[in-house]
Structure 1
Amino acid sequence: MKNLSSTLLEAQKSESRLPYVKVEVVERVGGVTRLIWSRLYTGSEPDFYHAAAMPGDGSLVRLRVDPNTHNLYRQRVTSPGPESDFSSWTLWSNSTCAVALTSYGQYVTCLRVNEGGWVYESHSSDYGQNWSDWSYFNLGSSPAADVRVAVAYKNSTTILFLFAAVGTLYRRLREGDDWGSWAPWTNSLSSISGVSVVYQGDWNVIVSGQDSSNNYKVCTCVYGDGYSAPPGTWSPLAELTLSSAGSGVEFHYPYLAFPDVFRAFFVEKYQGPDVYSRPLWSHSLATADFISNLWREPVPFNLSSSHGVAITHHDSYAWLSNALGVWRAPLSPAAVELTDDVIEITAVTEPFSGRVAVVLRNDDGRYKEPGSGEYAPIKEGSKLLIYPGYRTTLGAEFSLDTAYWIEGWEYVSAAGRSYFVLHGRDGWSLLDHWRARRQFTWAQGEKNIFQLLSFLLAQVGLEVYAFSTSGAMVNQYPTFTIHPRESGATAVRRLLEMVPDVLFFLSDSSYVKNPLPDEDSAYSYGTDHAILEARYTSGAQEINRVQVYGDGIMSERFAWDEIARIYDRLGQVHDLNLD
Structure 2
Amino acid sequence: MITLTPTLEAAQQAPSGRPDVRLRVLDQDLGATRLRWERWYEAAAVDGPARVVVLDDGTVVRARIWPASGILYTSRTTDPDEQSAWGSWTELDDQVSTTPALAMAALGDRVLVATVRDDNAAIVLHESSDGGATFPSTITVTGTISAVTGLAVAYHHDESDGTASLFYAQGGEVLVRGRTGTGLFGSATAWSRDLTSINALAARSQGDIEVLVSGVDPDGNAGCWSVAYGIGNAVNAGTWTALEPVALASPGTDVTYLANSWAFASRARASLVETYAGAGAYNRVQLATAASGAAFTAGGWRDPRPFDHESPYGLGIGAGGPAAADLYLVAPGGVWHATNDPDPQDLSTQLVTLDLLQEEEAGGVLRATLTAGPGGIAGGTPATLAPGAELAFDPGFVTTAGQEWATGRRYWITAIRRSRTRDGRALVEVEAHDALRRLFAWRAPRQLEWPGSALTSSALAILQDICARAGFDLLATDASDLSGDYQPAFTVRGGEGGRAAVLRLLERIPDQLHSRGSVLRLEEPDPLAVATYAYGMSHGIIECSVEDHAPGTGWARIFGDAVYAETFDYDALAQGAPPLIALDLNLDAAGKAQDRADTAIRIGRLDIIRATLLAPVNVGQEVGDVVTVTDPTLGLDAQPYRVRALRLRFHRGPGSPRYDMALQLGEV
Q: Which residue in 2 is equivalent to 1:440?
A: 449
Aligned length: 574
Structure 1 residue ranges without an equivalent (≥5): none
The offset of 1:103, in angstroms, is 0.8
Q: Pairwise mapping of residues 140-219 of structure 1 onto structure 2 (< 5 A)?
A: 140-141=144-145, 143-144=146-147, 147-154=149-156, 155=159, 156-176=161-181, 177-219=183-225
The offset of 1:257, in angstroms, is 2.2
- Which of 276, 289, 296 is the equivalent residue of 1:290? 296
Q: Which residue in 2 is equivalent to 1:92?
A: 92
C-alpha distance in 1 between matches for 2:189 and 2:235: 18
Q: Which residue in 2 is equivalent to 1:233?
A: 239
Tell me: CA distance 1:577–1:566, structure 2 relative to 1, closer, same or farther (3 Å).
closer
The offset of 1:398, in angstroms, is 1.4
- Which of 348, 351, 358 is the equivalent residue of 2:360? 351
User: What TM-score do the two structures reach when normalised by structure 1?
Assistant: 0.91
Tell me: CA distance 1:364–1:297, structure 2 relative to 1, closer, same or farther (3 Å).
same
Q: Which residue in 2 is equivalent to 1:7?
A: 7
Query: One-letter code of the match for 1:345?
Result: L
The Cα RMSD (Å) is 2.7
Query: One-letter code of the match for 2:179?
Result: R
User: What TM-score do the two structures reach when normalised by structure 2?
Assistant: 0.80
Q: Indicate whether 1:112 and 2:120 are aligned.
A: no
Q: Which residue in 1 is equivalent to 2:437?
A: 429
**Stretch deviating more after TM superposition (524-533 or 250-259):** 524-533
Q: Is the 8 A contact 1:443 1:478 kept in 2?
A: yes
Tell me: CA distance 1:254–1:575, structure 2 relative to 1, closer, same or farther (3 Å).
farther
Q: Is the 8 A contact 1:158 1:174 kept in 2?
A: yes
Q: Which residue in 2 is equivalent to 1:263?
A: 269
C-alpha distance in 2 between matches for 1:178 and 1:366: 63
Q: Is the 8 A contact 1:355 1:426 kept in 2?
A: yes
- Which of 368, 386, 389 is the equivalent residue of 2:393? 386
The offset of 1:211, in angstroms, is 2.5
Q: Indicate whether 1:139 and 2:150 are aligned.
A: no
Q: Which residue in 2 is equivalent to 1:69?
A: 69
Tell me: CA distance 1:134–1:386, structure 2 relative to 1, closer, same or farther (3 Å).
same
Secondary structure class of the residue paired with 1:577: coil
Tell me: CA distance 1:561–1:187, structure 2 relative to 1, closer, same or farther (3 Å).
closer
Q: Is the 8 A contact 1:407 1:425 kept in 2?
A: yes
Q: Which residue in 2 is equivalent to 1:121?
A: 125
C-alpha distance in 1 between matches for 2:379 and 2:356: 25
Q: Indicate whether 1:525 and 2:535 are aligned.
A: yes
Q: Is the 8 A contact 2:212 2:259 kept in 1?
A: no
Tell me: CA distance 1:443–1:254, structure 2 relative to 1, closer, same or farther (3 Å).
farther
**Stretch deviating more after TM superposition (48-57 or 464-473):** 464-473
Q: Indicate whether 1:398 and 2:405 are aligned.
A: yes
Secondary structure class of the residue paired with 2:88: coil
The offset of 1:199, in angstroms, is 1.3
**Stretch deviating more after TM superposition (434-443 or 96-105):** 434-443
Tell me: CA distance 1:67–1:225, structure 2 relative to 1, closer, same or farther (3 Å).
closer
Q: Is the 8 A contact 2:318 2:327 kept in 1?
A: yes
The offset of 1:140, in angstroms, is 2.7
Secondary structure class of the residue paired with 2:535: coil
The offset of 1:112, in angstroms, is 1.2
Tell me: CA distance 1:257–1:413, structure 2 relative to 1, closer, same or farther (3 Å).
closer
C-alpha distance in 1 between matches for 2:432 and 2:133: 50
The offset of 1:225, in angstroms, is 1.9
The offset of 1:560, in angstroms, is 7.5
Tell me: CA distance 1:18–1:536, structure 2 relative to 1, closer, same or farther (3 Å).
farther
The offset of 1:404, in angstroms, is 1.2
The offset of 1:438, in angstroms, is 1.6
Q: Which residue in 1 is equivalent to 2:314?
A: 308
**Stretch deviating more after TM superposition (22-31 or 488-497):** 488-497
Secondary structure class of the residue paired with 1:520: coil
Q: Is the 8 A contact 2:479 2:524 kept in 1?
A: yes
Query: One-letter code of the match for 2:28?
Result: R
Secondary structure class of the residue paired with 1:491: helix
Q: Which residue in 2 is equivalent to 1:318?
A: 327
The offset of 1:213, in angstroms, is 4.2
Tell me: CA distance 1:364–1:545, structure 2 relative to 1, closer, same or farther (3 Å).
farther
Deviations along 1:486-519, one digit per CA (max 9) or x if unpaired, are 3223333333334333221112212233332222
Tell me: CA distance 1:180–1:327, structure 2 relative to 1, closer, same or farther (3 Å).
same
Tell me: CA distance 1:501–1:313, structure 2 relative to 1, closer, same or farther (3 Å).
same
The sequence identity of aligned pairs, in percent, is: 29
**Stretch deviating more after TM superposition (157-166 or 359-368):** 359-368
Q: Which residue in 1 is equivalent to 2:105?
A: 102
Query: One-letter code of the match for 1:300?
Result: P
The offset of 1:555, in angstroms, is 4.0
The offset of 1:92, in angstroms, is 2.0
